[in-house]
Amino acid sequence: MRAARMLLPLLVLLTACSDPGAGSSAQTPPLPQPTRRAPSDAASIKLSFGPIVKRTAPAVVNISSKRVVRTRVDPFWEMFGGGMPRERVEGSLGSGVIVRSDGVIVTNNHVVEGGQEITVSLADRREFPARLLLADPRTDLAVLKIEATGLPVLAIDTGEDLQVGDLVLAIGDPFGVGQTVTNGIISALNRTEVGQEASSYIQTDAAINPGNSGGALVDMDGDLIGVNSFILSRSGSSSGVGFAVPGAVVRQVVESAFGGAKTVVRPWLGVRGQAVTAEIARSMGQELPQGVLVAAVYPGSSAARAGLTEGDVILAVDGQAVNDEAGLNYRISTHRPGDSVRLRVRRGQGETTPSVRLEAPPSQPARDERVIAGPNPLSGATVVNLSPATAADLGVDAFARGVLITAVDGRGLAARAGLRPGDLVRQVNGRTVADVRSLQGALAPGGREWEVVIERAGQRIAAKFRL
């Protein structure tokens, strides 16, 4: 009996090791071979990024920018006509990527912003003066041109097949020490809660330090998948949390510069939305907190013509999921005005897939930018009429209406009154301000007492002034 008990495990083992087809006609399908593989042995670990670097590094350049800054001296001496403002030269260093062999280069806008003298140094140590073709502060990108031909280039990859975990290289000139290459992986895609409003960033742990700005983030095919832009760090040096403007945005800005445009015209859907939180999802009967809840639709916009209404939930744009307003705006902004996109929208308990023809945001009323002068509390303030197009340029709410203060002269009455850029002027002495013309009309009568109502950060503030 004991021997029989000992034979039982042996029989089970032999059965498990026998031909699986003997007991069943079902065949297990072979597992698909992964296209991306981590190093699996010593030989794989010794593999080098050298061939990729050799092919891509010559297209990454160093950029230096200089500008003259006037600095004020002690205001006390200025009151007596003394102490002339002094001039000093400020410089910045960064990197750039050659995207056309005839000398077209893309970099970060903050590298060259305000620069009066821009110099590009190639990998072969040649130097060229550069001129600015296009600056796009919304994405922090700029396109430069140098007079050279036959230059090495990097192809722009829009990154539709990128995955978290893919290997990447960051190439640039950190701290001005010379061209440097670091490697890492894609840590995250579609980061919308950081940086500029008009982009959805690639996050990487490849070391990015001061001077890397404007440099290349390349994949293992040697293509440009992003332009390194900024880092999150307590020390100012790389802590493994870097962000790059994705290739789709880079291509859009570069193509705009090729066409001779001075600004990038992006389409606008015409909705104000908010992320669907877990609480909102429960109230709407959704199992998961997904999509962007439409809170408002701009009259006459692309969204309005497509039939979108308040309460709709936009789940995807052309099959790409969106989960916050920034992500939705990014998916729309990578298209051109006139393009059609397919939305996936949840309405009530059902879904619909409307096709939306995109258009540029309307520019009415006209901008009508003016500097207010005269004896009034707004003297020295630069004001503009708000339209969706102007709001998009200035990075403010596209649904806002009225007159926006865009700049305040530090020596004017507006600065003394505490007015700031970003304030919306609502009323002056009880008169509603609808546009710049009506504002100037309200200021025209003059007087010594003024009551001004402004809107700041969503709150209305009323103040009285006596001149």
Calculate the dihedral angle through the C-alpha atoms of 224, 116, 383, 337, rounding to the nearest 10 degrees.
-30
Catalytic hit among 64, 92, 140, 423: 140
Query: Which amino acid type is present at position 292?
Result: V
Q: Residue 370: is its pLDDT beyond 70? A: yes
Predicted confidence band of residue 10 (pLDDT cuts 50, 70, 90): very low
45 token code pair: 């670990």
> What local confidence, expressed as pLDDT, does residue 103 receive?
94
> What local confidence, expressed as pLDDT, does residue 83 receive?
55
Active-site annotation holds for 48: no
Active-site annotation holds for 110: yes
Topology (CATH level 3) of domain 271-357: Pdz3 Domain (2.30.42)
Q: What's domain 55-145's architecture? A: Beta Barrel (2.40)
> What local confidence, expressed as pLDDT, does residue 14 receive?
34
Q: Residue 28: is its pLDDT beyond 60? A: no
Average pLDDT, the chain: 84
Catalytic hit among 110, 157, 324, 423: 110
User: Given the DSSP bridges, would you call strands 355-357 and 340-347 parallel, antiparallel or unpaired?
Assistant: antiparallel
For the chain, percent of residues with pLDDT exceeding 90: 56
- What CATH superfamily classification does 167-258 receive? Trypsin-like serine proteases (2.40.10.10)
Give Cα 41 to chain centroid, integer Å.
40
For the chain, percent of residues with pLDDT exceeding 70: 83
Omega prior to 9 cis, within 30 of 0: no
Domain(s) of CATH 2.40.10.10: residues in the chain: 55-145, 167-258
> What local confidence, expressed as pLDDT, does residue 11 receive?
33
Residues with Cβ within 8 Å of 60's Cβ and at least 6 positions away in sequence, in order, are 95, 96, 97, 98, 123, 154, 171, 172, 179, 215, 216
Check if CATH label 2.60.40.1120 holds for domain 370-466: no
DSSP E strand stretches across 283-442: 292-297, 313-317, 320-321, 340-347, 350-352, 355-357, 370-371, 381-385, 403-408, 424-428, 431-432
Catalytic hit among 65, 95, 187, 213: 213
Predicted confidence band of residue 48 (pLDDT cuts 50, 70, 90): confident
Residues with Cβ within 8 Å of 243's Cβ and at least 6 positions away in sequence, in order, are 191, 194, 195, 201, 202, 203, 204, 228, 229, 230, 231, 232
Distance CA 122, CA 97 (A): 10
Domain(s) of CATH 2.30.42.10: residues in the chain: 271-357, 370-466
Q: Residue 26: is its pLDDT beyond 60? A: no
Active-site annotation holds for 435: no
Distance CA 354, CA 106 (A): 36
Q: Residue 29: is its pLDDT beyond 70? A: no
| Mean pLDDT, residues 21-43 | 53
Q: Are 327 and 317 in contact (CB under 8 A)?
A: no
